[in-house]
Amino acid sequence: MKATLALVAALLFLFMPAARGGELPVAQLIEPAYPVQERVQWVLDIAAEELGYTEQRGGVTKYGQWAGDPKAEWCAEFLCWVVDQADQRHGTRMLTTLFPRYGGTNTGRDWFLREGRYIARKGFVSDWGSQWYRGSSVTMERNSYIPQPGDWVFFSYGSTGDTSHVAMVESAWRQPDGQVLVQVLEGNNPSAVTRVRYPLDDWRIQGYGTVRDLADIVLRMGLRGKKVSGLQQRLVQVALLNQEDVTGHYSQRTSDAIKAFQQIAGYPTTGIANQKTQLALEEYAAGYKLRHSSFWVVSEPTAP
């Protein structure tokens, strides 16, 4: 992360309401909504092993050294190093597939967006649009997602909306008053690896890079990623787009195909694949396959 943002982050950490170290408030563990994958648990275990690690003189860390910048502002470098360690120990390939490898502002968040595994705390992503849980006809409410172990949580400390810090979710807890706390393992807080709890509705939490594909999002011209590829594939299924146009880039051809479908569905022809359009297209594609399939009935041979 950028050095200027690091100074702001360090000052905010001094005054944050989250508890650190052995000062965690009494609360009840919220069981994960989904089973924790073994490979994700490996990553969490290695991150926990690093608790207490502190910067060397001059801000040098082994995580920055691993990333090629010994004095890097190392919250992202710590998480990437942890994933790489899990890959080396267990022969997996999670870095750059399940998790990003990065060290720059917004890069990690944008990687999860392209992978189709990002949930904004407010249910809305700038330059994209609103979100909804997969298959749901209801728009996502703010602070409704309880992050799962292994998710990456992105923080923003300024008005620009740029990511300033990143941590890995370890668990979620509910206090007696009902408030939900997100427990994370994080580096560079402000100069060590620590375990911290943040309120689920903390204004600094921008969103989560998730280990599962749990939400969909409005798609429009110029966007890229797996969600776009999935949309294009459904358009191919209903004969509104050619297979060679499945590029992951929301092109003019994709927009025109969405307009064609919106006309079929009786919707305004905006070319923007909003929630209503995407849900209708999924239903239409499922029915289209049945309507355009041929069936033959094979009878038993008649005895002579």
More confident: 293 or 191: 191
Mean pLDDT of the chain: 91
Does residue 180 sit in helix, strand or coil? strand
pLDDT tens per residue across span 141-193: 999 999 999 999 999 998 889 999 999 999 999 999 999 999 999 999 999 99
In 116-218 the beta strands, taken as DSSP E runs, fall at 118-120, 124-125, 129-133, 152-155, 165-174, 180-186, 194-199, 205-209, 215-217
pLDDT at residue 91 above 70? yes
Determine the average pLDDT of the residues in 232-253. 97
Domain range summary for the chain, segments of one domain joined by + = 3-216, 218-291
pLDDT at position 292 is 72
Q: Is-contact 9 165, C-beta < 8 A?
A: yes
Which band of pLDDT confidence, cut at 50, 70 and 90, is reported for residue 290?
Answer: confident
pLDDT tens per residue across span 198-215: 999 999 999 999 999 999
Q: Show the tokens assigned to 227.
A: 């969600």
Q: Is-contact 108 76, C-beta < 8 A?
A: yes
The number of beta carbons lying within 10 Å of the beta carbon of residue 141 is 11
The number of beta carbons lying within 10 Å of the beta carbon of residue 65 is 16
pLDDT at residue 73 above 50? yes
pLDDT at position 218 is 98
Q: Show the tokens assigned to 109.
A: 């968040």
From CA 64, how far away is CA 81, in angstroms rounded? 9
From CA 246, how far away is CA 269, in angstroms rounded? 21
Q: Is 287 exposed, middle or buried (0-12, 13-18, 19+ CB in 10 A)?
A: exposed
Least Cα distance to 69 among 52, 81, 51 occurs for 81
Tell me yes or no: is domain 218-291 CATH 1.10.101.10.
Answer: yes
Alpha helices in the chain (DSSP H): 3-15, 38-49, 62-67, 75-90, 107-115, 226-237, 252-265, 275-291
pLDDT at residue 5 above 80? no
User: How do strand 180-186 and strand 19-20 relate by DSSP bridges?
Assistant: unpaired
pLDDT at residue 42 above 90? yes
